[in-house]
């Protein structure tokens, strides 16, 4: 029995090391699949009717001015109207996720809206928040191309500071 263990132990260790290499390889492959879109992570609101301030949490794969979240916006439920846009003047490479406030936003407490983020390189992210002031907001996944025409409406960023 002792001789069998002496023989099988190295074989067992070899098999384990192969499994470990496979999992390392899988992690490397998943790391190479780098995210390219910004996502809303939180929504906080203060203020009064037609004069709200939003504090929006964003997670984005910023790398500097060459790739960064350049705005977040509030749009109508139908996606036809831009209600507010907060321009982000620089990248947030070492601050992830980050929160930026904006307002005033002229909406009622029952008005349903979407809040979403935009990357300078890849456009709008699919993860957004939907809701209203009275009932709160929930995370949703928007259809590809939903209200993309709003990306051409001012205000738009004039550049990236850093």
Same domain, 8 and 77: no
Mean pLDDT of 16-23: 37
Flag whether 158 is in a domain. no
Flag whether 132 is in a domain. yes
60, burial (CB in 10 Å: exposed 0-12, middle 13-18, buried 19+): buried
109: CB partners within 8 A, 6+ apart? 49, 132, 133, 134
Q: What is the pLDDT of residue 34?
A: 55
Mean pLDDT of 37-52: 96
Flag whether 24 is in a domain. yes
Is the pLDDT score of 121 beyond 70? yes
Mean pLDDT of 127-139: 97
Write out the residue range of the structural domain in which residue 25 sits.
Answer: 1-33
Same domain, 147 and 115: yes
Q: What is the pLDDT of residue 6?
A: 44
Same domain, 58 and 21: no
145, burial (CB in 10 Å: exposed 0-12, middle 13-18, buried 19+): exposed
Same domain, 26 and 43: no
Flag whether 27 is in a domain. yes
Q: What is the pLDDT of residue 33?
A: 39
Q: What is the pLDDT of residue 35?
A: 74
Mean pLDDT of 91-98: 93
Same domain, 107 and 132: yes
| In contact, 124 and 148? CB cutoff 8 Å | yes
Answer whether 0.85 is exceeded by the pTM. no
Flag whether 161 is in a domain. no
Work out how many domains the chain is built from and give that number: 2
C-alpha distances out from residue 98 to 48, 50, 57, 117, Å: 25, 26, 6, 12
Same domain, 83 and 139: yes
Is the pLDDT score of 41 beyond 50? yes
Same domain, 75 and 26: no
Q: What is the CATH number of the domain that holds 126?
A: 2.60.40
């Amino acid at each position: 029995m002792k001789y069998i263990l002496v023989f099988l132990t190295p074989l067992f260790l070899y098999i384990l090391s192969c499994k470990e290499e496979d999992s390392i390889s899988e992690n490397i492959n998943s790391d190479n699949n780098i995210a390219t879109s910004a996502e809303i992570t939180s929504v906080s609101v203060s203020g009064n009717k037609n004069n709200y301030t939003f504090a929006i949490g964003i997670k984005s794969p910023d790398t500097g001015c060459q790739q960064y979240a350049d705005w977040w916006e509030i749009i109508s439920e139908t996606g036809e109207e831009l209600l507010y846009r907060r321009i982000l003047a620089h990248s947030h490479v070492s601050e992830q996720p980050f929160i930026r406030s904006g307002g005033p936003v002229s909406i009622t407490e029952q008005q349903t809206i979407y809040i979403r983020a935009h990357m300078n390189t890849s456009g709008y992210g699919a993860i957004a928040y939907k809701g209203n002031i009275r009932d709160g907001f929930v995370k949703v996944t928007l259809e590809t191309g939903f209200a993309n025409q709003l990306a051409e409406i001012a205000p738009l960023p004039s550049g990236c500071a850093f």
